[in-house]
Amino acid sequence: MTFPCKACGVCCKKIFSTVSEFDPSAKDIDRGDGICKHFDEQTNKCKIYDSRPWFCNGKEIWKRYYKPQGLPLEFAYAVMERQCEILAVKGTVEDDDIDWEEFIITFQKRKRR
């Protein structure tokens, strides 16, 4: 299973607001305007995709934060997908942007299909 990335570039264009809370080294990839220095604006792809930082890799995020809680990879990807949607609209993602009760119910219904 892979993350259903739409290659919109939103997370790469808001790098500091999306990952600085997870890893302070995110500032090292910020080119100074909030955009990742490895983001190719022509292709909307990462120039170092195969060696990207852990916080840019959905599976690595799952391993660090969701798997230890017994949550499946599909759940982590669903959360990340929702965060992408919020980021595209608001420019940042806050803890209370997701109604977790509703999100879990929707996830469980989707998984049963």
Question: pLDDT digits over 46-95, tens only?
Answer: 999 999 998 889 999 999 999 999 999 999 999 999 989 998 898 888 88
Residue from 46, 111, 26, 109 nearest 73 by CA: 111
Question: Model pTM?
Answer: 0.81
Write down the domain spans for the chain: 7-53, 57-113
Query: Is 62:73 a contact under the CB 8 Å cutoff?
Result: yes
Query: What token pair was written down for 9?
Result: 């570039």
What is the pLDDT, as a whole number, of residue 49? 93
How many other C-beta atoms lie within 10 A of the C-beta of residue 30? 16
